[in-house]
């Protein structure tokens, strides 16, 4: 098998888990507190920017989680093919 590509689902599963943990860490980010006592235009812009930033983090987390799941599915398919080829003696 020297020089051939071989799957290793344990390594992939570990990495997918790490990706999922990274998403969980990002999701744990709390919305920062902003001043609600003033009516300054800058404070309104800060509220808007904070909301946009939190939305971007949410979207990134969703995409990242989907990618991690795809990596896991691809690895499982590759491992299944490896086993199939090994049974055929290829």
At 5 the pLDDT is: 58
pLDDT, one tens digit per residue, over 39-70 is 676 677 777 878 888 888 888 888 888 888 88
Assigned domain for 49 exists: yes
Assigned domain for 83 exists: yes
Mean pLDDT, all residues of the chain: 78
Domain coverage including residue 70: 40-90
Assigned domain for 20 exists: no
At 42 the pLDDT is: 67
Assigned domain for 58 exists: yes
Assigned domain for 13 exists: no
Q: Could you give the number of structural domains in the chain? A: 1
At 2 the pLDDT is: 46
Cα→Cα distances 32→11, 54, 69, 83, 84, Å? 36, 10, 30, 50, 52
Assigned domain for 60 exists: yes
Give residue 22's Cα distance to chain centre: 7
Assigned domain for 27 exists: no
């Amino acid at each position: 098998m020297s020089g051939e590509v071989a799957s290793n689902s344990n390594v992939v599963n570990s990495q997918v888990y790490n990706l999922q943990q990274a998403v969980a860490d990002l999701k744990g980010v709390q919305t920062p507190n902003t001043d609600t006592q003033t009516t300054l235009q800058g404070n309104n812009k800060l509220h808007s920017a904070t909301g946009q930033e939190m939305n971007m983090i949410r979207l990134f987390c969703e995409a990242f989680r989907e990618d991690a799941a795809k990596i896991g599915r691809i690895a499982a398919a590759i491992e299944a093919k490896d086993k199939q080829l090994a049974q055929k003696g290829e």
